[in-house]
């Protein structure tokens, strides 16, 4: 996984240097790379955050704590908005159940891009209880295929769970 991510990272930046690109082209390429990384992580069953390939710090393996733990159970972890027009703001709600044996506490939810905004429950979710993570995507200046990831940090094992959204954004008509 780490090797694949590093190869994609290096290939991406070699392409940027070799061919150069506009800001919109760069954003599109970054979005595609984010999608490929998320796809690879999903295929490999990995939910932990990848290490930053630009740092020399060692990767610390997460150890499972003793005792009862909360656990996320999402009916869906991926959502495709389909084709939308550039400038549209779309929303999706990811419902989950705490299928563990302790209260679930979400400490943060962060998106891979500023165009994506997650909203999560701030109160603990009791075992067997349900909650909703709302994700809003603003497609302004985001033409092309967009793959965004929301990383949820909680008192679960593993600590980070990822949700993915996708959209095919068609360019807005430019008035003359």
Per-residue pLDDT of the chain (176 residues; tens, 9 = 90+): 555 555 555 555 445 444 444 455 655 566 666 666 655 655 554 444 444 445 555 666 788 888 899 999 999 999 999 999 999 999 999 999 999 999 999 999 999 999 999 999 999 999 999 999 999 999 999 999 999 999 999 999 999 999 999 999 999 875 54
pLDDT at position 47: 44
Q: Cα-flanking dihedrals φ and ψ of residue 104, to 5°?
A: -95, 125
The alpha carbon torsion through 5, 115, 46, 16 (nearest 10 deg) reads: -10
CB 137 within 8 Å of CB 165: yes
pLDDT at position 17: 45
Pairing of strands 160-170, 78-85: parallel
164 CA to centre of own chain? 5
Name the token pair of 116: 């994506």
- Could you identify the residue written with the tokens 């949820």? 152
Instruction: Extract the runs of DSSP E, i.e. beta strands, from 16-159.
Output: 72-73, 78-85, 89-98, 106-111, 116-119, 130-138, 144-154
What is the C-alpha separation between 160 and 176, in angstroms, rounded? 47
Q: Cα-flanking dihedrals φ and ψ of residue 85, to 5°?
A: -90, 140
Q: Which of 79, 152, 74, 160 is nearest to 120 (CA)?
A: 152
pLDDT at position 1: 52
Q: Cα-flanking dihedrals φ and ψ of residue 42, to 5°?
A: -65, -45
What is the C-alpha separation between 30 and 9, in angstroms, rounded? 10
CB 115 within 8 Å of CB 137: yes
Name the token pair of 175: 């008035």
Name the token pair of 33: 């790379």
Has this prediction a pTM greater than 0.75? no
pLDDT at position 108: 97
């Amino acid at each position: 996984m780490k090797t694949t991510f590093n190869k994609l990272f290096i290939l991406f930046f070699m392409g940027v240097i070799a061919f150069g690109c506009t800001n919109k082209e760069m954003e599109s390429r970054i979005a595609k790379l984010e999608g490929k990384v998320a796809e690879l992580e999903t295929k490999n069953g990995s939910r932990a955050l990848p290490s930053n390939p630009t740092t020399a710090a060692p990767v610390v393996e997460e150890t499972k704590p003793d005792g009862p733990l909360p656990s996320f159970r999402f009916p869906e972890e991926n959502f495709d908005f389909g084709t939308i027009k550039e400038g549209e703001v779309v929303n999706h709600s990811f419902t989950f159940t705490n299928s563990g044996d302790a209260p679930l506490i979400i400490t943060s939810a962060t998106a891979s891009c500023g165009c994506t905004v997650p909203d999560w429950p701030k109160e603990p979710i009791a075992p067997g209880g349900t909650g909703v993570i709302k994700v809003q995507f603003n497609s302004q200046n985001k033409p092309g295929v967009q793959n965004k990831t929301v990383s949820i940090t909680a008192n679960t094992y593993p600590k980070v769970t990822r949700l993915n959204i996708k959209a095919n954004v068609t360019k807005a008509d430019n008035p003359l």
